[in-house]
Structure 1
């Protein structure tokens, strides 16, 4: 979808069922991690890409530190991170704005999300 054609109306039940299923899977994953004694580093795509670049870069650095990856060992680290933050991404927001019923869906998802426990809190 390149923005020249309107997006279809999204089926509200399908979207809300998908969200509910996602929360259930997150809960199952959290239980498995806890049972294994593991503490995950939680990062969401939006926390990297929907922030000012410096915030995204700082979060990536924290993630790499958690993974024991030293950016200094990678000569192209800065160029790759800058390319990822400035030239890549899903561009979801520009597509979503073309969905005719997006505001109705956002309101419904916000209401539904408030009914779920926060399983994963960003690190």
Structure 2
């Protein structure tokens, strides 16, 4: 019997491909990615964040079937993350933390998604082609917003680490770049994650095809439209500077 799990990640970390692969291999039910977002399948849970008892009851209800979850923890109230950690740990969940080492590039990818409206691969193929063929010029990046979100995410990472410690959980940690830069190394990391979850890849006849497709699948490559953004280089420089000089991130 394998463990149900939560992938704790952030927007534009490349978690959809990994989450889809692991969910396909898991015996536990899958649900819509980021299910606690307002427009998603468990979106009715988050509005109860000001009522801890109701929030816990709702969380226990949606987790009772032990669905596997990809969760962007920076988007929702801290109390929801705490309740999710508490209830899932009581139910025997294991936890995976998926990060992206290039934080400035992650934030820029998020800003480009906001500007272009390209949030998924299908949208990106269509919208990026229009941009490259000389469509309407793109708006500049809102640099103060990007910097504020970067600091917000740093605070949320610290809060997540505190939750793991408080609930006696040791997550499996992995970086997007380490999985997808080199397929051979990526395969080892995927297999380590499967071992952590007690999933036997040999039990899945399509495993080789699934993992190969996942490791070779290309992302949206949002940087290809960077030249169409008037202040892309300036935004990147300020983000990199802030990252290199930041001691204690602002909330």
TM score, norm. by length of structure 2: 0.41
**Contact 1:7/1:99, CA 8 A, preserved across alignment:** yes
Q: Give the superposed CA RMSD.
A: 2.2
Structure 2 stretches lacking a partner, 5+ long: 1-126, 132-136
Query: Taking CA–CA contacts closer than 8 Å with sequence separation of 6 or more, which of the two structures ends up with the larger relative contact order?
Result: 1
Counterparts of 1:18 and 1:56, CA distance in 2: 29
Structure with bigger strand share is 2
SS at match of 1:24: helix
SS at match of 2:152: helix
Aligned to 2:175: 44
How far residue 105 of structure 1 moved from its aligned partner, in angstroms, is: 2.2
CA distance 1:99–1:109, shift in 2 (3 Å)? same
CA distance 1:92–1:57, shift in 2 (3 Å)? farther
Aligned to 2:128: 2
Say yes or no: does 1:85 pair with 2:228: no
Point out 4+ residue stretches in structure 1 off by more than 4 angstroms: 95-98
Aligned to 2:234: 104
How far residue 95 of structure 1 moved from its aligned partner, in angstroms, is: 4.4
Structure with bigger helix share is 1
SS at match of 1:69: coil
**1:6-47: CA deviation from partner (whole Å, max 9, x where unpaired):** 543211111111111111111111001011111111123333
Counterparts of 1:41 and 1:16, CA distance in 2: 28
Counterparts of 2:225 and 2:153, CA distance in 1: 21
How far residue 96 of structure 1 moved from its aligned partner, in angstroms, is: 4.5
CA distance 1:70–1:116, shift in 2 (3 Å)? farther
Structure 1 stretches lacking a partner, 5+ long: 118-123
Counterparts of 2:159 and 2:183, CA distance in 1: 32
Q: Which has the larger radius of gyration?
A: 2
Length, aligned pairs only? 116
